[in-house]
Homo-oligomer: A and B are copies of this chain.
Amino acid sequence: MNKTITVLPGDGIGPEVIKAAQKVLDTVAEKFSHQFTYQNAKIGGVAIDEDGTPLPQETIDLCKKSDGVLLGAVGGPKWDTLPGHMRPERGLLGIRKALELYANLRPVTAHKSLLDASTLKREVIEGVDLMIVRELTGGLYFGQPQERRQENDGESVVDTLYYKNYEIERIIRQAFELARLRRKKVTSVDKANVLESSRVWREIAIAVHADYPDVELEHMLVDNAAMQLIRDPKQFDVVVTENMFGDILSDEASMLTGSLGMLPSASINGNGPGLYEPIHGSAPDIAGKNLANPLATILSVAMLLRYSFLMQEEADAVETAVTKVLEAGYRTGDIAEKGQPVLSTEEMTEKVIEHIQLAVTN
């Protein structure tokens, strides 16, 4: 297949991990006889420096004309004093909005050889393989009114949790589709005992479930979900929830494994190109030093292959290679334990590529 990928290296360690990811993509293209064409574009601090805006129109246009977008990281101390609308992070929010990416996929996988990095006990974290599906474009973060008020009896402030029903339906449908590619279980998280939006959410979840009788559906209150993630994270497969609950739960879940440098993410909309990026930041302290862990970005490539290109075998090959490399004891600095030899970004990338080539040859 021919696919066009827009590449947004961004700031800090972004360019290094993106370079690593592209090498992995090249290997996949070669081994599986695909052709991947890259379009480079600017976002974040580098775009501010060169074009005076964190998200040039040209970047948006290129992203829209591609089959998938791969992003490194944005931000750094250099741009921290700029006004809000000029911050690098605005580029990220802007591109999500421009591509209408309403579904944020945050998988958490406990890699067997990294279990000790968790603050949870080995037997609790071993085998965890869950995905939080967070609604990304609605809810409390975007609802109107959002304002301060001067009332007769004093000042007050209001934010609004607003959803159109179709926004709820499409994200829940997305979760069921994802569950079909996994262990066929959806946990719909809400606060239906208190919120009207949650009661609607639950009704829609039940209605959509009728189209997916092969997938199990359970409902869980958000406060209980926050407990269960600690008590027994293995119980979860796909967890779907609204924007703010998803923000909190996905970050809570990301801490379970203790290896933030390993976690990929995807933001998709079901039709146009999706955006794939590691959840870690731009780590300006180690930028340009060939020290960054490229695995979260490489695993984001696997998600790009799986969810935007529907290349399951290719995605499996990348994920398996990462697992094998970890099992073989290779580590970057962030995931190395005392005494373990530490690989550079490039060395780690080479190891992953070797394993993909090996696996495909056999």
Contact = CB atoms under 8 A, between A and B. Distances in A.
A158 interface: yes
Interface string A81-124: 00000000000000000000000000000000000000111001
Interface in A114-136: 119-121, 124
Contacts of A1: none
A195 to B, nearest CB: 5
A226 interface: yes
A181 to B, nearest CB: 26
A310 interface: no
Interface stretch (A70-78, A138-146, A331-339): A138-146
Number of copies: 2
Chain A interface size, under 10 / 10 to 19 / 20 to 34 / 35 or more: 35 or more
Contacts of A164: 151, 153-156
Nearest to A163: B157
Contacts of A165: 154-157
B249 A148 contact: no
A141 to B, nearest CB: 5
Of A124, A156, A194, A231, the most chain B CB neighbours within 10 A belong to A156
Nearest to A143: B158
A255 interface: yes
Interface in A172-229: 191, 194-197, 200, 222-224, 226-227, 229
